[in-house]
């Protein structure tokens, strides 16, 4: 499981929203934390309505003070300030992940609505695009329930689609559920015709009857597939349940998370960001833009199509 967690911080209270979850995970998993600050070239004097850290000296002092925060009490915490100014924050985080070798990066998504979508695409999802390290996105504490503010994870949702290469996130979900002794809910969403996009949408337009029958068959197959996966996981001592749904995948994932009062969603992503993700219908990007609970994204690598 995760043994080394990297937390990039920019000096703002918003970014520090990641500390509760990162600290809770580190304590439960016996992991080391590394707090990272990058000196950004031509950085604004204010970030998220707070003074920006622009020198190595004040960044070092900030990280030292932050490492002694109550949420990190008793943990192994290291700090790292990159003193050479950088212009590409996402790439620098990626390069530091190669240097520091964390197996999990925890970041806070700043802003709401379109602003959060933009910042998520520019920073966090680009980190996923560049590297192979899973990224846990948490949201400002003001948007979350008290239990989540404390970083606790009691219930996990793992959306899967039956494609082996897409389910690299499932072992991580299962491993976390077992290590944290929490409930795991497997979710498979079979779209309706109106929810199909791209080439699938074009085929459904030309052959609506056959597409509808195929989707109904997929829905029945999904139930059996999920039951088998749940049964296998239950044999390892995990409290696991399975659920199938019909409709738009992103909407179904978010609705299930709310309905089940889940604390974490874990899913794979090919890491497409920004307008590319919008036009290609990235489910992970849609979920990240609209969800309000921690989201763990596991890089799957670039798609060939």
- Burial profile 75-106: b = 16 or more Cβ within 10 angstroms, e = fewer: bebebbbbeeebeebbebbbbbbeeeebbbbb
Would you say 116 and 265 are in contact if contact means Cβ atoms under 8 Å apart? no
pLDDT at 287: 86
pLDDT at 45: 63
Residue-by-residue DSSP string for 230-287: HHHHHTTT--EEEEEEES-HHHHHHHHHHHTT-SEEEEEE----HHHHHHHT-HHHHH
pLDDT at 259: 92
Nearest Cα neighbor of 131 from 83, 86, 92, 165 is: 92
pLDDT at 144: 45
What is the token pair recorded at 282?
Answer: 């990235």
Domains observed in the chain: 4-108 (3.40.50.620), 149-294 (3.40.50.620)
How are beta strands 46-47 and 50-51 bridged, if at all? antiparallel
Neighbours of 28 (CB within 10 A): 18
pLDDT at 266: 95
Cα–Cα distance between 36 and 124 in angstroms, integer?
14
What is the token pair recorded at 44?
Answer: 């604004």
pLDDT at 211: 36
What is the token pair recorded at 143?
Answer: 């948007």
pLDDT at 281: 53
What is the token pair recorded at 102?
Answer: 């964390």
H/E element, 173 = helix 169-180
Q: DSSP state, 14?
A: T
pLDDT at 278: 39
pLDDT at 301: 66
* Percent helix, percent strand, percent coil in the chain, to nearest 5: 50, 20, 30
pLDDT at 22: 94
Give per-residue pLDDT as tens, 26-50. Answer: 999 999 999 998 887 776 666 656 6
Cα–Cα distance between 305 and 294 in angstroms, integer?
29
Would you say how long the chain is, in residues? 305
What is the token pair recorded at 112?
Answer: 């709401």
Cα–Cα distance between 85 and 142 in angstroms, integer?
32
Cα–Cα distance between 67 and 75 in angstroms, integer?
9
pLDDT at 80: 94
pLDDT means over runs of 10, the chain (305 residues): 92 85 95 91 65 82 94 95 80 84 87 43 64 84 47 89 77 95 90 50 36 45 83 94 86 92 89 48 78 87 55
3-state secondary structure 39-84: EECCCCCEECCEECCCCHHHHHHHHHHHCCCHHHCCCCEEEEEEEE
Cα–Cα distance between 55 and 67 in angstroms, integer?
18
Nearest Cα neighbor of 52 from 6, 5, 14, 95 is: 14
């Amino acid at each position: 499981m995760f043994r080394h967690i990297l937390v990039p911080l920019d000096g703002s209270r918003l970014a520090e929203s990641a500390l509760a979850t990162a600290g809770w995970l580190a304590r439960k998993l016996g992991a080391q934390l590394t707090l990272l600050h990058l000196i950004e070239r031509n950085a604004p004097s204010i970030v998220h309505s707070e003074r920006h850290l622009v020198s190595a000296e004040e960044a070092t002092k900030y990280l030292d003070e932050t490492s002694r925060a109550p949420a990190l009490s008793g943990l192994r915490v290291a700090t790292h300030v990159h003193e050479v100014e950088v212009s590409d924050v996402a790439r620098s985080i990626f390069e530091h992940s190669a240097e520091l070798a964390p197996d999990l990066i925890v970041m806070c998504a700043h802003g709401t609505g379109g602003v959060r979508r933009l910042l998520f695409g520019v920073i966090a999802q680009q980190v996923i695009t560049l590297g192979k390290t899973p990224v846990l996105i948490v949201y400002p504490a003001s948007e979350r329930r008290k239990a989540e503010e404390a970083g606790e994870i009691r219930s996990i949702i793992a959306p899967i689609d039956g494609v082996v290469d897409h389910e690299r996130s499932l072992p991580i979900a299962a491993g976390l559920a077992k290590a944290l002794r929490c409930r795991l809910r497997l979710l498979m969403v079979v779209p309706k015709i109106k929810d199909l996009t791209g080439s699938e949408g074009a085929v459904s337009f030309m052959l609506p009857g056959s597409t509808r029958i195929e989707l109904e068959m997929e829905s029945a197959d999904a139930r059996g597939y999920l039951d088998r996966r749940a049964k296998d996981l239950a044999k390892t001592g995990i409290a696991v349940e399975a659920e199938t749904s019909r409709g738009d995948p992103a909407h179904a994932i978010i609705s299930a998370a709310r309905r089940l009062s889940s604390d974490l969603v874990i899913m794979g992503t090919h890491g497409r960001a920004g307008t590319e993700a919008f036009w290609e219908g990235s489910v992970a990007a849609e979920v990240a833009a609209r969800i309000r609970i921690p989201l763990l994204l596991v890089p799957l690598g670039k798609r060939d199509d």
